[in-house]
Each structure stands twice: as structure tokens, then as C-alpha cells.
Amino acid sequence: YVKRIKPTVKITVPSTIWYKDTATIKISGKAANGTITKWAFSNSSTAQFEIKNDSIFKVFYTDTGAHTIRAWVFDSRGNYSDTVSTGITVKHVKPTCTIIAPDSTWFKDTVVFRISAKPTNSTIKTWGFSKDGSTSFSSKNDSIFSITYTDTGLHTIRAWALDSKGFYSDTVISSIYVREIKPAITLIKADTSVIYFNDSRIFTVKGQTHGSIDSIFVSWNGTPSFSQKIKAVKDSAVFTHTFALSDTGTRCILFRIIDKNGFSDDSTWCIDVRPGLPSVSNFQIDTSLGNIFVNDIRKFSFRAQDQNGFIRKVFIRYESGAPAESLTVSGNRSIIDTFFVHKYDTTGGIKTVSITAFDDDGVSSPVLTSTITVRKAPPVLGGDKSGNPDTCWIIVDKGYTNYYYRPKYADTNGVIKRFFFGNQADTINSTTKGQVDSSILNIDENNVNKPSTRYIYVQDDDGLLRGGKFIVFADSTPPNLVIVADKKDSIITIAWSGKDVKDGNETQYAILLKAGSQPVLSDTLFSFRPGSSFSSGEEYFSDFRYDFTPNLSAQIYHYKVVAKDARGSIVISNDGTFIY
């Protein structure tokens, strides 16, 4: 009996077979009496066998899971082994994926994300990324993604990786917080601490932000309607502006900065725009005691100055409604001390002087006003004796003839230039006119000791006329005196008669007394007294009497009585004597 012995077969497989990986399968055969000449292999329970003269077979699975592989061998004596099978598992492992990114970023900053993916038995082919957490992914053959966020807050990000075998990693989720940084104005500066209207001023504005400042805006009237925009250089901008006169006072300026991200910041800066008005001061008039008279030439001095420029013109008006005089100032002078010369006409009265200055901005100063009284200072005209303002006296001491009469006159601020004497109340029909200050009146028995009406006028060098009706009184001297002396006991009485025709009892008397010789005017017993102060001399058939006791006895005394009227006319009695 000839016994046939089948060869034996054994299948050797790798420990792990990967999806879409080429795996090597080894078929080992052993012949009892011969050699193995053929090897057969099937990669599934149904697939046909591949027969070849080699024990090594390659497999490539496109699906995963459990698979059955089979094999048999054929030896050199024509014997077949039994078909053997073994189960294998074709495995696959998803690639792993991680998002590498910062926790936060700034608005409109570009942030870089990296998708770190790790395959198990392949390479990463594609990376997918969603910046907003949606299922809409952008993919590319690169693990680096750059995103610029245009909205702030918390953002969800997703990512996956696809390997070369077509396997996707799980979608991984992370988050990033997009921060908003608001720009801030850090500096507003003017090129001077004092700002005047019509001066060109430089304003520097600077801001800061995350990134850089794009533009800076300004509204000079403080409203959100911006009038000027400047592109920022190194986060700052320089503005030049000239304020108008209407801008004087507190002026609020609105600045706005905008950064590269579109964020903005506003800042209001309030300043005091000064009018810089010129001013007028130190007003003076060169006159003594504050008196200003008509037709007097006076110097009107003042100072004009400007705070932020130069005085260009000054005006002075000497009274309301009158034309103004002006002076143009040459050169660049911020302070000027100057004067005008003026005289007022004969109207006189209260005058309001107003002075104004204009500067190089064309702005006028507040009007400096001063009220002054311009005195007419007319000539003063009166009678020639005090107490009789309308009477001129003629002392008739040379008998009946022509006598001059002359008024008292004066001028406060000049001289009398013309005199008018006449019988009518005007100057046209005056009897005499000219520089002579007296006139002639013929005195006779018809007008002595009687008033005569005359009209007297004077005119000064300012052309002012004063005068009117006057009384010219031809006054004779007191009459000759009649004197008598009497002694009773130790009392001496001197009595006299002789009153001035006009003065009557107000005629003044003095007694002269001297022992041994006639008295002179210095030998007064008493000085002049009015007759009304003496006792009546009726007992002696006289007007007045005076009683006294002489100092020395056993003497011959000489006495005289002196009479004086209100005009100063004097009459001295004859010499009288008595023994005491």
C-alpha cells in the first residue's frame, strides 16, 4: 500500500494589517516526501486563489474589518495540502488634530492659527478650519491659517485633518477672544498758552491705540460736523487755525481720532480765545486846577496799546456829535503815547471826550470817555466899589467939569480887548468903543449927587461879551465940617456937623488929637467909624458928639474931625483947640 502524505501549510500574517496598506503574507508549506512547488493564496473566503511559485503574497485592503484569508501548497509529487484559513482584521486609526492658537487677539489684528495633526499610518493631506465655529470650513494643503477678525468678542474655531488614506480626524473645537482696544487722545497742545483772535495758532493732537492712528479730525465749533481731516503721522497731527472775532470767549474744540481698525475717540478741549482788543488809558489834559476855558489851546494826551499786535490808528472826538480827528501810526508799535491839540469855541459847557484806538487786526478798543467842563470864562464887569456891583462913582472934587468913570473888570483866562460905553442897551450904538477902559461924563449942578444911567460892555480875547446897565453916580465929597469943643468937669465933648449927601449917617468920621500942636492924619483919637455909632450932637446944634477924657492936663489940645464917604472921599475940618 502506497501511502500519499499531503503537504502541510501554514499562513503567517503581520500583527496588524492597516487599511489601504500593503501587507506581506507568507505561506509556509512542508512536504512529507518532496518539495513544495506551488503556493496558492486567497485574500478572502470567496476570492479565487492566486497560485505562484513563491510563498510570499501581498495584500491591499480597501475596506476595514474582519477578513478571511486561505492558502494551500502543492508538492513535487503532485500532492495538495489541505486548504487552511485564518482570520485577520484590517484596521484603520483617525489622525489626531489639535488647534494651536492664542487665547485672545485684538480687533482687526491678524492672528495665525496652526492645525497640528498626527496620522497613525499615513500622512496628513488636507487641513480644514472654521473661524466662526460653523460647519463651513475652508481647507488647504497647509496647516497655517491667518484670520483677521472684524468683530469683537468670543469666537469659536473648529478644525480637522484629512490623511492620505482619506480618513478625517475628529473635528476639534477651540475658542479665541477678540478684544476691542479703543484709541485714546493723549495730547492736545497749542503753541501758546494765550490765544487771541486773528492770530494763527498751531494745535498738536496725538493718540494711542493697539496698532496705529489712521486719521485725526477737528471741529473748531465743537459740533460733530468736522471741518478738517489730517492723516496721522506717528499717531499725531498738526492743525493750524485762526479764530475770528466772533469766536472770542470760551471756545470748545472737538477732536476725533480714528485708528487703523476703525475705532474712534473724541475729546473736547475748551480754550479762552481772547479778543486782544487795543486799549486806551492815561488820558490827561495839560491844564492847571482842572480848568479848561473856551478858546484855550490844550494838549489831550493818552496812551494806546495792543496786547497781541500793533496800534495802527487812533481817533479822538472832543464832544458828542463832533467830527473825530485821527492819527495814523507808522511802524510796529504795540504801545504809543501821543496827544492831540484842541481848543473849544465860545459855546463852552459839559463836553464828553471820546478816544478810540484800532490795531492791526482792524479791531477797535473800548471807547475811553471823559466828561469835562469847558468854562466860558467870560469877562467880569462891575461897579468900581465893592458893595455896589452896578455903580460907578465919580468923585466930584474939582468942581463942575468933565470926569472919567471906570468900571471894575477882569478876565479869568485872558485879557479884555474892547470896551463899549453908551446910553443904549447895545454895543452898536455905543458912544465910545475901543481899548480905553473909561469914559467921560460932564458934571454940573443938574446931575451932581444924582444917578445917571449908562450901558457898559466889555469883550475879552475869547470874543465873550459881558455888560449891561450901570449907574454912574457923581458923588461930591462930604460937606465942610463945623466943629465945637466943650468941657464939663473932667469930660471933653467934641461935636460936629457935616453928613455926606448920599451916605447920611453912614458917613464915617475920625478925630485927630494932639497936645501942643496941630495933629496930622496919624494922630488919631480913634479910627473911622460910621456916624450912626456916635451920640447925637443936638445939644450943641450938631449932628454928632464924642465924649472923652484926655490923658494929660494943663495942656492946650488941637483937634480936627475927618469925614469919609463910601467912595473914599475925605474932608478934614479946620483946626480946633481946647484947654484941659
> pLDDT at position 121, please?
79
In 397-438, DSSP assigns E strands to: 402-405, 408-410, 416-422, 432-434
DSSP 555-574: -EEEEEEEEE-TT--EEEPP
Three-state DSSP state, 540: helix
**Strand order, beta sheet including 349-359:** 292-293, 368-375, 349-359, 311-317, 325-328
Tens-digit pLDDT profile for residues 519-536: 999 999 999 999 999 999
Averaged over 501-523, what is the pLDDT? 92
pLDDT value, residue 62 = 84
> How high is the pLDDT of residue 318?
93
Average pLDDT over residues 396-400: 84
User: What are the CA-CA distances from residue 30 to residues 13, 36, 40, 80, 554 (Å)?
Assistant: 18, 7, 14, 11, 215
Please compute, for residue 424, the number of CA atoms within 13 A of its CA located in the half-sphere on the CB side: 7
Tell me the torsion sign for CA atoms 98, 101, 104, 108.
negative
Beta bridge partners of 509: 529, 563
Question: Edge-to-edge strands of the sheet including 22-30?
Answer: 8-12, 22-30, 56-60
pLDDT tens column, 38-84: 999 998 888 889 999 999 999 988 888 899 999 999 999 888 999 99
State the burial class of residue 46 (Cβ atoms within 10 Å of its Cβ: 0-12, 13-18, 19+): exposed
How far is 21 from 63, CA to CA, in rounded Å? 11
Q: What is the pLDDT of residue 288?
A: 66
CB 215 within 8 A of CB 232: yes
CA 412 – CA 551 distance, rounded (Å): 53
> What pLDDT, on the 0 to 100 scale, is given for residue 543?
94
**Spatial separation of the C-alpha atoms in residues 73 and 29, rounded to whole Å:** 6
Inter-residue contact 19 to 120 (CB < 8 Å): no
Residue 432: band (very low, low, confident or very high) from pLDDT cuts 50, 70, 90: confident
The pLDDT value recorded for residue 19 is 85
pLDDT (tens digit per residue) in 344-380? 887 888 999 999 999 988 889 999 999 998 888 888 8
Number of helices and strands (H, E) in the chain? 0, 50
> What architecture is the 184-274 domain classified under in CATH?
Sandwich (2.60)
Sign of CA dihedral 522, 527, 528, 533: negative
Q: What is the spatial distance between Cα 534 and Cα 523, in angstroms, rounded to a whole number? A: 20
Radius of gyration of the chain (CA): 70
Q: Which three cell numbers stand for residue 461?
A: 480875547
Q: Give the integer Cα–Cα distance in Å for 126 and 145.
A: 12
Cα(125)–Cα(119) distance, integer angstroms:
10
Q: Looking at 196-200, 254-258, 303-307, 401-405, which range is the least confident one?
A: 196-200
Q: Are the CB atoms for 478 and 491 separated by under 8 Å?
A: no
Q: Which CATH superfamily is domain 8-91 in?
A: Immunoglobulins (2.60.40.10)
Mean pLDDT calculated for residue range 114-139 = 88
Nearest to 313 by CA among 296, 333, 297, 299: 333
- Residue 79, classed as helix, strand or coil, is coil
Q: Tell me the β-bridge partners of 504.
A: 500
Fold of the domain spanning 96-179: Immunoglobulin-like (2.60.40)
pLDDT > 90? residue 399: no
Q: Report the topology of domain 380-476.
A: Immunoglobulin-like (2.60.40)
Residues 6+ apart with CB under 8 A from 477: 395, 396, 397, 500, 565, 569, 570, 571
Burial class for 289, CB neighbours closer than 10 Å (0-12, 13-18, 19+): exposed
pLDDT of residue 387: 63
- Average of pLDDT values for 288-303? 84
- pLDDT grade, residue 289 (50/70/90)? low
Q: Are 352 and 369 in contact (CB under 8 A)?
A: yes
- Percent composition of the chain: helix, strand, coil (DSSP 3-state, to 5): 0, 55, 40
The domain defined by 482-579 carries CATH number 2.60.40.10: yes
Give me the CATH topology for the region 279-375. Immunoglobulin-like (2.60.40)
Q: Beta-carbon neighbour count of residue 483 at 10 Å?
A: 19
Measured CA to CA, the distance from residue 267 to residue 579 in angstroms comes to: 122
Contact between residue 196 and residue 247 where contact means Cβ atoms under 8 Å apart = no
- Rounded alpha-carbon distances, angstroms, from residue 318 to 279, 298, 349, 358, 375: 18, 11, 12, 18, 15
- Answer whether residue 398 shows pLDDT above 90: no
pLDDT mean over 195-210: 90
- Note whether 464 and 294 are within 8 A (CB): yes
**C-beta separation of 566 from 392 below 8 A:** no
pLDDT at residue 254, rounded to an integer: 96
What pLDDT, on the 0 to 100 scale, is given for residue 416? 92
Q: Quick one: average pLDDT of 401-413?
A: 90
Residue 420: strand pairing partners? 433, 457
Q: How far apart are CA 482 and CA 537, in angstroms?
A: 12
At 224, list the grid cell.
460733530
In the three-class reduction of DSSP (H, G, I as helix; E, B as strand; rest coil), residue 532 is classed as helix
Average pLDDT on 111-126 reads 89
pLDDT of residue 386: 63
CA angle 425, 429, 431 (to 5 degrees): 100
pLDDT value at position 1? 60
Q: What's the rounded Cα separation, in Å, for the pair 383 and 363?
A: 59
| Cβ pair 64, 19 in contact under 8 A | yes
Percent of the chain with pLDDT over 70: 99
CB-count burial class (<10 Å; 0-12, 13-18, 19+) for 35? exposed
DSSP state of 288: G
Of 106-110, 239-243, 282-286, 401-405, the poorest mean pLDDT is in 106-110
What's the rounded mean pLDDT across residues 81-89?
A: 91
The three cell numbers of residue 143 are 496647516
Q: How many CB atoms lie within 10 A of CB 163?
A: 22
C-alpha cell of residue 339: 496827544
Range 83-108 average pLDDT: 88
Summarize the confidence of residues 225-231 as an average pLDDT: 94
Q: Is the pLDDT confidence value at 483 over 90?
A: yes
Question: What are the phi and psi torsion angles at 533 (to 5°)?
Answer: -90, -5
- What is the rounded average pLDDT for all residues in the chain? 90
In the chain, residues under CATH classification 2.60.40.10 are 8-91, 96-179, 279-375, 380-476, 482-579
pLDDT at 407 over 80: yes
